[in-house]
A and B are shown apart, each in its own frame.
Chain A
Amino acid sequence: MKAIDVSNLNKAYRGEDMVLEDVSFDVQQGEFFVIVGPSGCGKSTLLRIIAGLEEISAGTLYMNGEEAGSKRPNERQISMVFQNYALFPHLSVRENILFGLHVKKIAKQQQQERCLEAAHLLGLDELLDRKPRELSGGQRQRVALGRAIASEAPICLMDEPLSNLDAKLRTKMRAEVRQLQRRLGMTMVYVTHDQVEAMTMADRIMVLNEGSIQQIGRPLDVYNYPQNLFVATFIGSPPMNITKTTRKGRRLQLTDGWTAAAPDLTEDVYAGVRPEHLTYAADAPPSFFATVEHLEILGTETLLMFRMNGELWIAKWPGQWDFREGQNIPLKVADDHIHFFNAATGERIGSRPLPAGLTMEAAL
């Protein structure tokens, strides 16, 4: 069943520019749905609309099969974790976790049980009587999660919940949040600007840019078949390498001596190659030669930078490769690893539509 169903949603703050434009998507029950996009693209606005903290300008919002656009936040059966955690500084961890439960007419005894259960799940047992200021960033984060868990709302909304944590803790919490969601079977709508979070946590991701949806799909589908140039360069680190092509009869030329079969199109075409698909042509005939401009050896992998028609391209290889800067090396790209995009619209050209029938229902 669809936990959330958004159709043709528009949002403008007080008659200003459109912040969200014609947004339509749905979230299945029990799904971990990640909304990802650069800062300022309208992610928080969308989440706050789902929460009922902002009004819809046009379009419809259904939650659990019922019209929800006009419902108050507390009637939507949601919990929300804010970026700054929204902990009450004057209340103890226990009181923070239990905040507002009295409204749902839950017996005191049961409230305490829920609190202990949530605290136990998050490893907060020892900290229940502390104030938020006596906690570390990660512990505060857990208290915020604890409130969401104790409310037992079927839908949980999270707005960049990990962005205030340091890198190590973030990796740890990523796994924790994901496991928690699975264990409790809640529906999660998770907002982030970090494409790594999106890729690693999501059942499906929705890429948003400047208020409109760029692509919705399973992380690997989005990675392997980006719908347009924006998605191609936003998802993946380092991003996909892009270059302009010139037409040479029935083929497209990417650079001197490197051509590929031309798609059936008369407009200009951009070609894109993921960094890991640029391989070193030791024996095979190379696609082209590149002059090493810069090398970053990270231990487990090596980033090799060179110029392609003036653009900076990056190749990513596992292991440690020791080239010198200025060295001319042969590179190879398999034909089916080249992505083509319409230069005018940025849309992906032809090849490989998403595998049919693989919707969330089937995947779950």
Chain B
Amino acid sequence: MTSLYEEISPDPPDNVPVRRVTMTVNGEKRAADVEPRLLLAHLLRYGFMLTGTHTGCDTSNCGACTVLFDGKAIKSCTMLAVQADGHDVETVEGLATASELHPIQEGFKHEHGLQCGFCTPGMMLAAKALLDENDDPTEDEVRWAMSGNLCRCTGYQNIVKSVLWAAEKLRAEGRS
């Protein structure tokens, strides 16, 4: 993309305003020169090639782009990349270690909380934000916390079960 220079080129075309941003993404320091209008979701997807963050709408409704921003769930399509300058971002790619799935990922697989998988990364990060705050949520609390994320496939029932499954596992492991 010309609106993004991950490899910082010596002379970007002068008609494009460019700003340097640095941020921590999944624990790693990343830098990019970006057009001020570039969305954070697009920097993650097309700049850093972290394509697990999806975009499913133009109006901040679907939540497919949800990431954790300084630990809080936000919609990365609704934030400019320059606003993330100096902040900490966690995407779905940061959930698992090389060998082990995060209990939330395990929960979604175990309880069949996904079908096409398009909403799943956003759903899991919304769930993580919830469980970081509340390690023993009720079903209603889960439904409310996930209500900024749309799923077109599952009807949510198994998503809710997945989150409750993960909560239990996290508590059992003493990780919450």
State whether these chains interact. Answer: no
Binding site for B on A (CB under 8 A): none
Binding site for A on B (CB under 8 A): none
